[in-house]
Structure 1
Amino acid sequence: MNELHGSIPSSIFKLVNHRYLVLSSNNFSGVLETSNFGKLRNLTSLDLSNNMLSLITSANSNSILPSIVNLDLSNNNISGVWSWNMGKDTLRYLNLSYNIISGFETLPWKNIGILDLHSNLLQGPLPTPPNTAFFFSVSHNKLSGEISSLICKVSSMGILDLSNNNLSGMLPHCLGNFSKDLSVLNLRRNRFHGIIPQTFLKGNAIRNLDFNDNKLEGPVPRSLIICRKLKVLDLGNNVINDTFPHWLGTLPKLQVLVLRSNSFHGHIGRSKIKSPFMSLRIIDLAHNDFEGDLPEMYLRSLKATMNVDECNMTRKYMGDSYYQDSVMVTIKGLEIEFVKILDTFTTIDLSSNTFQGEIPKSIGNLNSLRGLNLSHNNLVGHIPPSFKNLKLLESLDLSSNKLIGRIPQELTSLTFLEVLNLSQNNLTGFIPRGNQFETFGNDSYNENLGLCGFPLSKKCTTDETLKPSKEMDAEFESGFDWKITLMGYGCGLIIGLSLGCLIFLTGKPKWLTTMVEENIHKKITRSKRSTCRRGARRK
């Protein structure tokens, strides 16, 4: 990035022997006249991405850049119908994402492997990618109509992203088994209906299946059990009618499971599998009809949310060099898109079901958890003091249940806690003071008539202030060692996520989205460093 501006200098077109030309991430603007590039007969790679260039196309430009293999014009101002057909026999990589292209005269490239057209204004039916395509993304466009079964002839396909369009109809039955190399199938935010493909190839490479926000129905396909490399399964916001797919617990690499806002029902119960869902760290079962007790056996098995040694881990995201996995996470009613999933991020959302019984104390063992939402159920009993062990917790929502008793004083040790919602319960006694509890407002405690003390206007009587709870008595009798920890987390993850939500909803530029994400991850890194320092001091 050199911050060059204005038109591309004419001297560039004198570099007739150059094979590689990178002018990305500058402020070049104006019209890019394709005929000028005819002088660069030996050019194989051209990168003009992240500028402000528009384009004059020509029907007679087929011979321009006869040796071109890689072309990146992403993040520019290229508009209209694309007709620059250079490199039709040689081009392997073409990235036109983040422009305002409305269509193509043809897709003439015979041997292309990577074709990235996402975030444009493409309209009309879904174009069929060349048979040689490995990566094909047309997400965030305005495409409509059905998926043609011709797409299943692209047997080399590895990543297929059709998300965020107006595509409709039923999914072709072949869509799950047309390529042995298929690792990502993303159909999020369309209008597909009918059942999910029922057949998947044995020994398949599928890593990410995202069907969120469609009108898909029927049960979860049992054939998913052969997808042994599956890491992300997102079936949220459909009309799927099924019981809990406990058999998914055998998938050894499954890390993200989203079933929210469907018609799942019944008791989750116990599993016959000895240690189910051991790799699972993002679980969202919210807004269904699950009932009975919370699934303590499954919660006990979530090893990926326990004792994560962040001190000795480098920051890493789910996915690969071609495609990074994403997921929608709902926190305090806000739907936020993580366009990158940090491999240490953990959250559990079981809200808006009809779970009953007490909150299992064993949840306190999930000490790497960052978000926990059990709201809008029929849970009873006390808030477990064992929650004090959730040292990395940043969001806790237990609202709209039937919880009783005092708020455990032990929760004040959760110094990363940014959002707390205990409203609409039957909690009593004084509200704990100290650390993060000094920052929570009235909304955290609304409609608990028996609560008193800061920040509420209701003052506590002497008896309410001094009388210890049974849980506190038990802690003192067992020799509880009160430790005062410093607040090491200023403007936390949830605030960053809220900004991320605004960006997602208003469609701000990619660079701003990236900046917010980096801000979020920096905060996670700071929390990691703070935790590591405390661990070092204890040693």
Structure 2
Amino acid sequence: MMSSNQYVLLVFFVSLIYHNTLASPWLQRDALLEFKNEFPINASDPDDPINSWNRSTDYCSWEGVTCDRNSGKVISLVLDSFYLDGSLKTNSSLFSLQHLRNLSLDHCGLRGEIPSSLGNLSHLRVLDLSNNHFDGEISSSLGYLNQLTSLSIGSNNLTGRLPTSLGNLSRLTQLDLTDNHLDGEIPPSFGNLNQVLSVSLSMNNLNGTFPISFLNLTKLNALYLFQNQFTSGDDLPLFLPNLTSLYYLDLSYNHFKSTVPDLSGLHNLLKIDLSGNSFVGNFPASLLKIPSLEAVYLEGNQFEGSLEFHNASSSSVDTLLLSHNNFSRVSESISGLAMLSSLALGYNSFVGPIPVSISGIPNLSQLDLSHNGFTGPIPGSMSKLVYLFILDLSYNKLEGQVPSFVWGVYGLTLSHNYFSSLEKPRKVVDDKDSIDKVSFDLGSNSLRGPFPQWLCKVRLLEFLDMSNNHLNGSIPPCFLNPPFLKEVSLRKNNLSGFLPDMYSSQELKSLDVSGNQLVGKLPRSLIGCNYLEFLNLKGNNLRDTFPSWLRSLERLRVLLLGSNAFYGPIYTPSSSSTDFGFSTLRVIDISHNNFSGTLPRDYFANWLEMSSVWKGEKDWSDLPMYEGNQMDRGMYENSMVMIYKGVETEFSEILLAFKAIDFSGNNFSGEIPESIGLLKGLRLLNLSGNSFTSSIPSTLANITYLEALDLSRNNLSGHIPLDLDNLTFLSYMDFSHNLLEGPVPRGTQFQRQNCSSFADNVKLYGLEEICGPIHVPDAAPPQQPKDSSSEPEDVLNWIAAAIAYGPGVICGLVIGHIFNSHKHERLMRRFRRNNPSGTTRVH
């Protein structure tokens, strides 16, 4: 029988052999190569960094691999942005690298559950699995990694509750679980993380109140809990004033409903964000007692009353965002905020003149007073704000002359007021070395007189909106040629004369001069605007042939030529079918002109953009609505007026999924091209008021997402295709005043139409039991475009929705919805500073 001493000796030798075996260089190398082979790596791709892993080189020199100098053990594996594209297996050879201290697999395309085997890497100090596609719950085995100092699993698809075991990580200094789908309450065990410096649990579904054990986190520098479901009961968590080491506190976009307690004891605080909650009471002036505080975000709450700044003189606050509250008065003490550079007071309840005290803030560079009830002129004292860079006074009741000093501001938004004239600037912004461009928004005022010639001198002009005013005279030939000009809207004025040439406007993306009295031809210089996406010339007196030459503009998405005097065919026979139409257009409106001629069967064969189904169309709940470039977030920002579901409707913004063709009110003849059925992404089709003949093409049944169809006032004959029953989104249709015959399809969307949609088709039958005889002897006259000057501004005509009863009504409401135009917000986004901690912030 083996003695105890012999047994201990045997265990020692076995352990030694085992230890040395694991540390053997060739076993370390093979483990790495096995790990590599667990993923579908393209071995022939020389740019893939993991292809440096091969037997012919020292594994310690492989990219992403770090070894201990003495033992040769792999102690660090940093494979950030190595696109592995697979899952981590429970028995992965990765877990045989027992001496790993640092494992970073950020942005590796990993999916599936996080394996519990990770808990066996007992020497790990840093674990980063962020920006992947991991799902399922967080493995409780991660709580066994008692050497861990940093744990990052943010931006995945993790669900379930926070494991209590994570409270065992007593050496943890950084915890980031941001942007997942975690729910439930924060476990009390998190109070044991007494070494933690930064905690980010933002962008989850966490709820409940905070555990009192957070009082133990006395070293905490940064706490990010934004975009969750936390509540506060009567007060904010009692532990907050005790976290005196805090630099950054972000509790925004939760469900806190209370007053803000005295937080002046947080003497190290640099930034506090409580926006997007339901905090009440007066402005928490105690925050200004914190000498280090630089940024205060309190937007989107229910604060009210007067803004008092009793401790302004000692404050270091640089950014103060108080928009979307109920403040009603600004105290004179605001001028004491000597360090303040960004002030946002938009969407409050201020009335009367703009407070002169604001002009006493010496370093103010960004000011938002929009969406209030300010009246009177812009005070001359604001000329003292010599550093002013962004000024937004939109949506107030300001009047009089726009003073000359504001033209020194790079981002100026004065829209939706009652300004009547512009004082000529003494000096325009023209810093040739500036990287910032100039933006002037003067839309929807009462400006009168000729177009200001001095705008030609603003060389850095990038954006100009002077729409919905009373400007007259011609557009100066020099105006449309600033080298950086991207967006121009002069719609709904009284401008006349010719549209100037645009020889230098190579960056122009959007031009809207609709609703004026312009004459002549389209300037052929438009062909040089290679970035043009939106062109609106509707409602003028332009007389020209169809501009087929514009199809060379590969970025053109919206072309609106309606209600002019264009004439002739839109199709000219050619040897190549690729000359048909516009492959990139999403919306075209050439209605109410004098176009004529026939269209070949394959006319729409090359309209590729309308043939594709936009990726967001199948699931309306996933439509992108985040901030950023308007085209990127799924919206056209530009305004357009179209006949939508029988009603002339103004869209201030519209989803990119909206694809439309309006050829109505012309003199087209012959058959409707069968290739129209290729346009599967089309939402609106209006061919009314022409002379189309023959039968309705059955291929229309292929336009799956069609919502509005108007074929009225033509000479169409034959039957209404029964397959149109399958168009479940079709909620508005008009076949009236044709020569149609036979039964009306029995689909629900047909049976719920107004009877006038089928009027004056003598041989059509099938609706007798609903509305009686549908024959109307006298054909209705062609619909004339409304006078845009008499149209209420930015009106959502809900008649368009009310007449839509069928299954497409929900989709129709989404597409037909008119969003308020907030062009000023592109400027005010600059108020938001980058999060100092590096944590991603989404608003």
Q: What is the deviation of 1:130? A: 3.5
Equivalence map 1:262-273=2 (5 Å) = 262-270=564-572
Check 1:418–1:333 CA distance in 2 against 1; reply closer, same or farther (3 A cut). Answer: closer
SS of alignment partner, residue 174 of structure 1: coil
Distance of 2:636 and 2:671 partners within structure 1: 41
| 1:51 maps onto 2:348 in alignment | yes
Is the CA contact 1:193–1:214 (under 8 Å) kept in the aligned structure 2?
yes
Overall identity of the aligned pairs, in %: 35
1:341-381 alpha-carbon deviations (Å, 9 max, x no partner): 32221000000001000111110010110000000101111
C-alpha distance in 2 between matches for 1:495 and 1:391: 17
Does the aligned pair in 1 maintain the 2:527–2:553 contact within 8 Å? yes
Q: In structure 2, what is the equivalent of residue 22 of structure 1?
A: 321
User: Aligned residue for 2:337?
Assistant: 40
Residue 583 of structure 2 is aligned with which of 278, 295, 300?
278
Q: In 2, are the aligned partners of 1:400 and 1:423 still within 8 Å (CA)?
A: yes
Counterpart amino acid of residue 40 in structure 1: L
Q: Residues 43 and 320 from structure 1, CA distance in 2 versus in 1: closer, same or farther, beyond 3 angstroms?
A: farther
Residue among 356, 366, 371 paired with 1:70: 366
The answer to whether the Cα contact below 8 Å between 2:614 and 2:681 also exists between their aligned partners in 1 is: no
Q: Secondary structure at the match of 1:299?
A: coil
2:593 maps to what in 1?
A: 288
Cα distance in 2 for partners of 1:398, 1:110 equals 50
Say if 1:394 and 1:494, in contact at 8 Å, map to a contact too.
Answer: no
Cα separation, 1, equivalents of 2:590 and 2:694: 22
2:518 pairs with 1:206: no
**Which residue pairs with 1:425 in the alignment?**
738
Q: Which residue of 2 aligns with 1:120?
A: 417
Partner SS state of residue 103, structure 1:
strand
- Asked if 1:315 is matched to 2:613, the reply is no
| CA deviation after TM superposition for structure 1 residue 7, in Å | 2.1
Gaps of 5+ in 1: 460-486, 504-508, 515-539
Aligned residue for 2:373, secondary structure, equals coil
Cα shift at 1:11:
4.6
Matched residue, 2:493: 190
Computing the radius of gyration from Cα coordinates, the structure with the larger value is 2
Say if 1:407 and 1:431, in contact at 8 Å, map to a contact too: yes
Distance 1:297 1:150 in 2: 49
1: CA distance between counterparts of 2:664 and 2:354? 53
Single out whichever of 206-215 and 11-20 deviates more from structure 2: 11-20
Q: Secondary structure at 2:675's aligned position in 1? A: helix
**Which digits, 9 at most, give the CA deviation of each residue in 1:98-122, with x for residues without a partner?**
0010034723247421000001111
2: CA distance, partners of 1:388 / 1:12: 69
Name the CA distance, whole Å, in 1 between partners of 2:304 and 2:815: 33
CA distance in 2, matches of 1:446, 1:434: 18
Matching residue of 2:447? 143
State the partner residue of 1:180. Answer: 483
**Where does structure 1 differ by over 6 angstroms across 4 or more consecutive aligned residues?**
320-323
In the other structure, the counterpart of 1:96 is: 393
Shift of 1:458: 4.7
Matched AA of 1:315: P
Show the counterpart of 1:474: none
Q: For residue 713 of structure 2, give the secondary structure of its aligned residue in structure 1.
A: coil
Aligned partners of 2:519 and 2:542 also within 8 Å: yes
Residues 230-249 of structure 1: pairs in structure 2 closer than 5 A? 230-249=532-551
SS of the aligned residue for 1:175 comes to coil
Residue in 1 that maps onto 2:717: 404
Pairing 1:134-173 to 2, within 5 Å after superposition: 134-173=438-477
Conserved 8 A contact 1:66-1:86: no
Q: Which moved more, 1:11-20 or 1:87-96?
A: 11-20
**1:483-511 superposed Cα distances (whole Å, 9 cap, x missing partner):** xxxx85344426973x74xx9xxxxx879
Deviates more, 1:4-13 or 1:397-406: 4-13
Q: For residues 450 and 465 of structure 2, what CA distance do their matches in structure 1 show?
A: 15
Q: Is the 8 A contact 2:654 2:815 kept in 1?
A: no
Q: Which amino acid aligns with 2:651?
A: F
- Judged with a 3 Å threshold, the aligned counterparts in structure 2 of structure 1 residues 77 and 62 are, in CA distance, closer, same or farther, namely closer
1:334 aligns with 2:647: yes
Q: 1:337 to 1:318 in 2, by over 3 A?
A: farther
Q: Distance in 2 between matches of 1:45 and 1:315?
A: 29
Contact 1:208 1:233 in 2 (8 A): yes
Deviation at 1:173, TM superposition (A): 0.4
| Contact 2:353-2:376 within 8 A present in 1 as well | no
Quick check: 2:671–2:695 contact (8 Å CA) kept in 1?
Answer: yes
| Contact 1:68 1:87 (C-alpha < 8 Å) held by counterparts | no
Cα distance, 1:16 vs. partner? 2.3
Q: What is the CA distance between 1:331 and its match in structure 2?
A: 1.9
Per-residue displacement from partner, 1:54-110 (whole Å, max 9, x unpaired)?
A: 254577x69611101111110011110111416532010000010010034723247
Contact 1:394 1:418 in 2 (8 A): yes
* C-alpha displacement of 1:307: 2.4
- The alpha carbon displacement at 1:150 in A equals 1.1
Question: 1: CA distance between counterparts of 2:353 and 2:523?
Answer: 49
Secondary structure at 1:142's aligned position in 2?
coil
Give the residue type in structure 1 aligned to 2:512: D
**One-letter amino acid of the counterpart of residue 381, structure 1:** S
| Structure 2 runs not aligned, ≥5 long | 1-299, 431-436, 775-805, 826-843
- Matched AA of 1:131: V
Whether the aligned pair in 2 keeps the contact of 1:125 and 1:146 (CA below 8 Å) is no
Give the Cα–Cα distance (whole angstroms) in 2 for the partners of residues 257 and 271 of structure 1.
22
- SS state at 1:310 partner: coil
Distance 1:188 1:299 in 2: 30
Query: After superposition, what is the alpha-carbon deviation per residue over 1:140-167, rounded to whole angstroms, capped at 9, x for unaligned?
Result: 0000001122111100000011100000
Query: Which is further off, 159-168 or 428-437?
Result: 428-437
Q: Which moved more, 1:89-98 or 1:117-126?
A: 117-126
The corresponding residue for 1:221 is: 523
Q: How many Å separate the matches in 2 of 1:45 and 1:263?
A: 49
Once the two structures are overlaid, the 10-residue window that deviates more, 9-18 or 115-124, is 9-18
Partner of residue 457, structure 1: 772
Q: Which residue of 1 aligns with 2:21?
A: none
Tell me if structure 1 keeps the 8 A contact 2:568–2:596.
Answer: yes
Residue in 2 that maps onto 1:348: 661
Q: Which amino acid aligns with 1:148?
A: P
* Pair 268,496 (structure 1): closer, same or farther in 2 beyond 3 Å: closer
* Contact 1:266/1:289 (8 A) holds in 2: yes
Instruction: State the secondary structure of the residue aligned to 2:756.
Output: helix
Q: For 1:442-481, list aligned pairs within 5 A.
A: 442-454=755-767, 455-458=770-773
RMSD after superposition = 2.8
Q: Which amino acid aligns with 2:680?
A: N
Residues 22, 373 of structure 1: CA spacing in aligned structure 2 closer, same or farther, 3 A cutoff? Answer: same
**Partner Cα distance (1:300, 1:41) in 2:** 64
Secondary structure, aligned partner of 2:531? coil
Aligned partners of 1:5 and 1:58: how far apart in 2? 17
Which of 286, 299, 302 is equivalent to 1:3?
302
Identify which range, 369-378 or 321-330, moves more after superposition: 321-330
Distance in 1, Cα, partners of 2:734 & 2:484? 45
Relative to structure 1, the CA distance from residue 320 to residue 414 in structure 2 (aligned partners, 3 Å threshold; closer, same or farther) is: closer
Report the CA distance between 1:315 and its aligned residue.
2.8
Residues 110 and 15 of structure 1: is their aligned pair in 2 closer, same or farther, counting only changes over 3 Å? farther
Amino acid at match of 1:115: L
* TM-score normalised per structure 2: 0.53
Q: What residue number does 1:478 align with?
A: none
Aligned to 1:470: none
- Considering Cα pairs closer than 8 Å and 6+ residues apart, tell me whether 1 or 2 has the greater RCO: 1
Superposed displacement of residue 318, structure 1? 4.3
